[in-house]
Each structure stands twice: as structure tokens, then as C-alpha cells.
Amino acid sequence: MKKSFLLLISLFMVLGLLAACSPDKEDTKQDNKDNDGEATTIQIVMKDDNSSNPVSEPYFDAIEKGLLEDENIKVNFELVDLPQGNYAEKLNLLLYSGEIPDMIYFQGGDQAIAEQGLLEDLRPYIEDSKYLKDIIQPYNEQRLENYPYLLWVKPLAPKVPVIRGDWFNQMETSAALMENPTVDNYYAFFKELVEKQPGGNGKPAYALTVAGDIAEIDFTFDMAFGINQTWLKKDDGTYEYARVSQQQKEKLEFYHKLYADGLLDPQFLTKQWDTKEKAFYDSEAAVIPGTAGKVIDIYDGKMVQVNGDDASLVLLPPAKGEFQGYGATDVTKESRGIAISSQSENKELVFKILDYMASPQGQMIDRFGFEGEHYNIVDGNIELTDKYYSEWFARFWEPVEFTSPTPVSEKTPLLGESASKSLEDAQEFYAEDNSFIIPEEYVANWDAMQNLYKEFTTDVITGKRPISDFDAFVEDWYSAGGEQITEYANETLK
């Protein structure tokens, strides 16, 4: 009995000693992670980066290497593939399935996700950042205050129209268009392109193509028709929605004329961004809208590759009328951008990555691509290659003011002439919109009203309905919820 008691006491003492000498389970896990150099896996979903893109893997490998060397952060990026099709729709299907990556690029569809509390408020992170807080613009700040879930640090980048230079130079109407870009001069220019067919063999078949709807054309023509904000102030001091205004009716008449006269691509409704661009490169369409800045450079590089140096792009001006510009800038929220999942276990680490991409080292990776492929170092300067101009784009940030750690050769500027001018024009014609985030109680009606608008405009442009039906459409729009949202707008915009 006494022997058994002594054995029991000895057992408790050994167990107590082991417990005292053993670290906490979580501490052990962390120590092992630190000691063996295990990388943290960060899941990312991006529109243009996936397993089928040959550039994606080496690009994110370069970021992994930079993070380790410059910030002592060890991560392993895991790209999430989405099925082909509408990016916003496919992304939301993924997120609603419960698979929520750590870092998410949105191009629409984010508001419903944010309203469920699935996206992180980025403001406190930016306030404590090393680099990002110094490069965001006033319009970024306004958008973050209104909607703190998306970040997109880029120059103002409306959709701007471009045409290959060799065709532009053959048109007798080109000079008049550039000197005085009225709606009538635009029509004359489009008509001459189709009639003269400077490409020969029936090319171009039409003057203008867009991807799916008229939104891209609106950047060029809205302000000329007097649509300078989302809510237009009437003579009596009240506001009406621009898409149900007399100005909109006049613009739709013009669009229908383009379509009826064979100047607007008859298949514009079924075009996606890739088939729109293919029509441009294949000389089926003379003019396409593209995002100002780097996208225009990519268009230019590919056009020159296919059709020679003389085909280098010319930027066309915004149409001039009651106003002139590429549309008002929405400051309610970012229309696209990068978000951090609120469900991620690595939120702070994800933001450190976003912050690193704003650093000089991160910008070298993001802005210039791969040495020996997209650029070479010659006499201490960066010389960009043809492949850079035709292929490379920054996935993350493009500060308005950027000084490269390694100087860029004057022979190969970051942006070509047309691309640079597109950003300059965006700043020159800057106008702030008066739109606002639609309150949740109106969202369902608002979506239905937008669909009503898109259906009607499509029917008018393609001739399925006459423009004389515009008043009936306006009545339907107000009945579908327009009265309530217009009342809310007038209270908000006082």
C-alpha cells in the first residue's frame, strides 16, 4: 500500500515536470513554423491571372522572391481558376459556394458580398501602411470613405476611342474631327471610314465596335449630349436620372443612326472584350474604346505587330457639344479593385503584400515585368522591349507619380504617345459625378430598372422599337421604382 502510494506520487511529479517543460501547443506550432521556414499559403483570384496564363506563375514567383528578400515575408501564392465566361458572375458563384480566397479582385458584384460582411474594411490598414498611404489619390480617399472594401490605385482611366494611324491619315474628315469633334463630325468620320474602306477588301466592315452594350460608347458621347452627371439638374432645381432625360433620348437617336447606317458593329451585343479586340486587330472594325493608359499601349503594340509601324494608334477626342469630356468620375466607390476576405486567417499578411506592391521594389516587379524578356538594363537604364508594350500590364498599383528606382531610358518610355495622352486627357477633362451608393432597400428595384433601361436602349438602337416609345419607357422606369429613387436622390443631393 505504502509502495503504491509512493509510485503514484512519483508519477504526478514526472507529469508535472513534463508539463512545466513543454511549451504551449500554439507556441510549439509557431516555433516549428519559424524554424522550418514554412511559407504561408495565400489564395488569390484575379481576372487575368490563372493556370492558363503562362506569365502568371513566374510573375507571382517573382513577388514571392521579392517579399522574402525585401521584407523577410515568406508566402506561397495559390491562384484560383474560374470557369470561362462573365468574370463577376463566375466569381460570385465561387464566393457563394463558400470558397473565399484571401485576396480577391472584383470587377463588379462586390457590393452584395460586402453587405454580408465578407470583405475587410481597408481604411485602418492603409492608415498604418508603409507605402500605400502615400500614393492614393483624393478620389481614392473619397471612395474609401464611402465604401472601404475595394482598393484600386490607378490613374483616372475612362474608355477612350482609338484608331490605327494609317487609316486615320487617309480620311479627309480626320482634320475636322480633331479640330472640332462635334457629334456631326464624328458621324462624317465614321461614314467615310466605311465608305472609303482604307484597309481594302471590304475593311473596315464597320466604323465602331464595343463589347456587349453602349456603356463604352457613352464615355465618348455622353457629355456632348449634355449628360455630364448621373443626376441632371433641371430648370426648376430638381434632379432627374440622366438615363430617362431628353438628353438621353437624343443620344439614343444618334446611336440608332450609327447602327442603321452600318457604322456600328451589328454584332456589338454579342461581343466580349476579346472578340471586340480581335475585330480591331483583324481590321473588321476601325475604332474601339479602350481603357486609358496601359491598355491603349497594349492595343498599340499588338496593332503594330500585326500591321506595321504605320498602324500605330491615334487617340480620338471626346465628342464636343453642350459639354466635352470622357464622362464624370464616380467617387461613390471603386468600380473594380482588390479586396481582402474578412474570413481570411491571414488578413494582415495579405495587406502587407498589397503594401509591398506599392514599394519601389514591388513596383519594379509590377510595372516592368521580367528582365531579359520585358526589359533589359543598358548603361544603367531600363530599356523596355516590344514584348513589354504588347503584353505587360501592372496587376496591382500604378501611382500617378512614379519614379523608378532604376531610370527608364528616354528611348523606351513607360507609355507610348497615345497612351500618355489618354491619361493627360482624362485629367484635363476631369469632372466629379454626383452619383451615390443605392441604399439596400432600393437595390432590387434599381437592378430591375437598370435591366429595363438596357433592354429598351438595345431595342431602340437595333430598331426593334422606335424612339417614339421613349416616353413609355420613362413611365415604366418611374413605375418600377424610379419615383422612389428620384425622391431619395433629390433629398440626398440638396
Query: Which three cell numbers, joined as nine digits, stand for 7?
Result: 509510485
How far apart CA 290 and CA 208 sit, in angstroms, is 12
Query: Which three cell numbers, joined as nine digits, stand for 99?
Result: 470558397
Looking at residue 84, what is its pLDDT?
87
Q: What whole-number percentage of the chain has pLDDT above 90? A: 82
Q: Is the pLDDT score of 12 beyond 90? A: no
Q: Which helix (H) or strand (E) holds 350?
A: helix 347-356
Output the pTM of the full model: 0.77
Q: Are 34-156+333-365 and 159-328 the same fold in CATH?
A: yes
Looking at residue 15, what is its pLDDT?
35
pLDDT tens column, 174-227: 999 999 999 999 999 999 999 999 999 999 999 999 999 899 999 999 999 999
Looking at residue 33, what is its pLDDT?
40
- The residue extents of the domains of the chain are 34-156+333-365, 159-328
- Taking residues 426-451, report their average pLDDT: 91
Looking at residue 437, what is its pLDDT?
86
The answer to whether the CB of 183 falls within 8 A of the CB of 224 is yes
pLDDT tens column, 100-116: 999 999 999 999 899 89
Q: Which of 3-12, 44-53, 358-367 has the lowest mean pLDDT?
A: 3-12
Q: Which residues contact 289 (CB under 8 A, 6 or more apart)?
A: 159, 160, 161, 162, 210, 216, 217, 219, 220
Looking at residue 36, what is its pLDDT?
54
Q: Is the pLDDT score of 137 beyond 60? A: yes
CATH topology of domain 159-328: D-Maltodextrin-Binding Protein; domain 2 (3.40.190)
Instruction: List the beta bridge partners of residue 285.
Output: 206
The answer to whether the CB of 62 falls within 8 A of the CB of 56 is no
**Residue-averaged pLDDT of the chain:** 90
CATH topology of domain 34-156+333-365: D-Maltodextrin-Binding Protein; domain 2 (3.40.190)
- Annotate 32-85 with DSSP letters as a single string: HHHHHTPPEEEEEE-SS-STT-TTHHHHHHHHHHHHHHHH---EEEEEPP--SS
Ramachandran angles phi, psi of 208, nearest 5°: -140, 135
Looking at residue 35, what is its pLDDT?
38
Sorting pLDDT into bands at 50, 70 and 90, what band is 413? very high
pLDDT tens column, 242-295: 999 999 999 999 999 999 999 999 999 999 999 999 999 999 999 999 999 989
State CA 95 to chain mean position distance: 20
431, exposed or middle or buried, with CB in 10 Å at 0-12, 13-18, 19+? middle
Q: What whole-number percentage of the chain has pLDDT above 70? A: 93
Q: Is the pLDDT score of 449 beyond 60? A: yes
Q: Is the pLDDT score of 238 beyond 50? A: yes
Neighbouring C-alpha atoms within 13 Å toward the C-beta of 337: 25
How far apart CA 22 and CA 28 sit, in angstroms, is 9
